[in-house]
Amino acid sequence: MMIKREAEKTVEDISQSFRVLLVTGPRQVGKTTLLKKMMPKNMNYVTLDDKVLRDRAIENPKMFLDEHPWPLLIDEVQYAPELFSYIKIIVDNEKKQGMFWLTGSQQFKLMKNVTESLAGRVGIVRLNSFTYSEINLIKDKKVFNPLQLKKSTPINVNDLFEIIFNGGMPELYDNKKMNRNHFFDGYINTYLERDVIFQTKVKDILTFKKFMIAMAKRNGEQLNYLNIANEIGISDKTIKSWVNILVTSGIIYLLEPYMSSKLKRITHMPKIVFMDSGLCSYLVGWESARDLQLSSSSGHYLETFVISEIVKSYNAIGEEVNISYYRDKEKNEIDLIFYKNNKLFPFEIKKTSNPTKEMIKNFEKLKSDKEVGTGGIICFYDELIHLDENNYIIPISSVINSK
């Protein structure tokens, strides 16, 4: 059964507004499947995964585009950046919307090449692995907006941790016979061989894999480059460049700390958020959803899952989400802060069904800097209700599954 993607309307809107559509994102999240499903009947298709075609596109991009006329869907376009300047010439001559649809792993040189060559001509959709609502076939989901909190059907904690454990990679849901461990083992090897080696200067793949595991172990924690460098046995400069590879290829998201000129004693380190919780749990070596759920790491996994779901949903509608977290030198922390309408909206994300006012005591620390709007505790309580005059108890379903 074909799962409807939240990004479909965004793809339609961009194709009707721009001459070129680019869908980017990590490997195997469904970019090609999405566009093949939506492509017009008269659109041609070509994939640069085919080495013969890839070589032709690199060596003679003009002839390649003559032989594959628009409207054209080019899959894995990052392999032949030589095409971009010729696509620019064609779309400038014809000036029609939706002439080229492109897919490419969101990484390395691709975005730089696109923005330089096709500025003003290309609309970009960032696609990720399935969201909770896509997995559960929930239609017309709205992105989480702290200005419009919504009630939703409660989510069982055991069911949610099954999804956190498995993640949202489409192949695991499209192919019921696919073994989770076999999939992620193949996924990591393909990512290393086809993306990391092919697109970067990284040669020591065994060490890079150890680095990925070290990052996964720190999911939900602050990113300390020196700490990871000491564990792996390489320089912190190398760790910084490798972190950038994971970010630009969509494997991780860095939740930046809230910055303020008034609040002096705050951290400068971002938090590590794996964009697919299944990949993260596989790298760490969790044997089952139950083991993960009962572990001391479960709170971090829940927190990063909720944050990744928010980022995925905003990516799907083509919008940037302005979020951060707060932590000061005394280790007072706020898990998530939305910035909207010149206000701060603070949230705690807790694996509990019995939230208390004590959990939001740090919200007060923001008031000396900016106006603080409605916040609350995102948790496993069943109803959306007031915690106090300015804050709510918010079911997780209201964040990742609201309509």
**pLDDT tens digits, one per residue of 359-369:** 999 999 998 88
Same domain, 143 and 224: yes
In single-letter form, the type of residue at position 326 comes to: Y
Of 221 and 79, more confident: 221
Lowest mean pLDDT among 51-55, 113-117, 143-147, 377-381: 113-117
Q: Which helix (H) or strand (E) holds 47?
A: strand 44-47
pLDDT given at position 268: 87
Same domain, 236 and 101: no
Which pLDDT band, with edges at 50, 70 and 90, does 262 fall under?
Answer: low
pLDDT, tens digit, for every residue of 192-234? Answer: 887 887 667 787 889 999 999 999 999 999 999 999 999 999 9
The fraction of the chain above a pLDDT of 90, given in percent, is: 80
Distances in whole angstroms, Cα of residue 112 to Cα of each of 75, 133, 189, 294: 18, 32, 26, 43
pLDDT given at position 350: 97
Same domain, 350 and 328: yes
Same domain, 120 and 147: no
Same domain, 171 and 296: yes
Query: CA-based Rg of the chain, rounded to a whole angstrom?
Result: 22
Among the three residues 126, 149, 164, which one is the final residue of a domain in this structure? 126
Query: The domain containing residue 266 runs over which residues?
Result: 132-400
pLDDT, tens digit, for every residue of 10-56? Answer: 999 999 999 999 999 999 999 999 999 999 999 999 999 999 999 99
| Structural domain contains residue 51 | yes
Among the three residues 126, 160, 191, which one is the final residue of a domain in this structure? 126
Same domain, 76 and 154: no
Q: Is residue 108 scored above 60 in pLDDT? A: no
Q: Is residue 298 scored above 70 in pLDDT? A: yes
CATH number at residue 103: 3.40.50.300
pLDDT given at position 203: 79
Same domain, 41 and 185: no
Averaged confidence pLDDT in the chain:
93
| Structural domain contains residue 1 | no
pLDDT given at position 105: 79
| Structural domain contains residue 2 | no
Contact 77, 117 (CB under 8 A): no
Number of domains observed in the structure of the chain: 2
Of residues 280, 284, 38, the one with CA closest to residue 168: 280
Same domain, 215 and 287: yes
Mean pLDDT to the nearest integer, 297-326 = 96
Q: Which helix (H) or strand (E) holds 323?
A: strand 323-327
Q: Is residue 402 scored above 80 in pLDDT? A: no
